[in-house]
């Protein structure tokens, strides 16, 4: 059994597509914090993932991740940016070390 932070992939639950943009995230969860993270999978490939939390940040910036429901190992996630959205979905703070993608798969903390 692998251990890690439990996250739940949710894009298809709300919009029937894997990748969502910040406006689609805001429509569901605002106000929220979106961690922009690089996901390193077991095959060595990397992808970008948005991880949504209801707080104002202060989340861990690097951690192993397991699927909340299946406990499957999803990879190691490392934050390279953070976006705070207010209750109207407007960006109130953004800190990025590289460009933010227009859309990405979305996971939420459980």
Q: Residue-wise pLDDT tens for the chain (110 aa)?
A: 568 999 999 988 887 888 999 999 999 999 999 999 999 988 889 999 999 999 888 899 999 999 999 999 999 999 999 999 999 999 999 899 999 999 999 999 97
Phi and psi angles of residue 15, each rounded to the nearest 5 degrees, phi first:
-125, 5
Q: How far apart are CA 8 and CA 51, in angstroms?
A: 9
Range of the domain at 57: 5-109
Total domains in the fold of the chain = 1
Q: How far apart are CA 88 and CA 57, in angstroms?
A: 18
Structure tokens at 87: 């209750």
């Amino acid at each position: 059994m692998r251990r890690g932070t439990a996250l739940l992939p949710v894009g298809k639950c709300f919009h029937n597509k894997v990748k969502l943009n910040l406006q689609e995230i805001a429509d569901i969860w605002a106000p929220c914090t979106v961690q922009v993270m690089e996901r390193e999978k077991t095959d060595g490939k990397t992808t970008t993932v948005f991880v949504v939390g209801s707080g104002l940040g202060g989340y861990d910036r690097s951690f192993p991740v397991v699927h909340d429901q299946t406990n499957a190992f999803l990879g190691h996630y490392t934050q390279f940016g953070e976006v705070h959205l207010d209750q109207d979905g407007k960006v109130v703070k953004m800190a990025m070390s590289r460009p933010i993608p227009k859309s990405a798969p979305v996971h939420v903390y459980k």
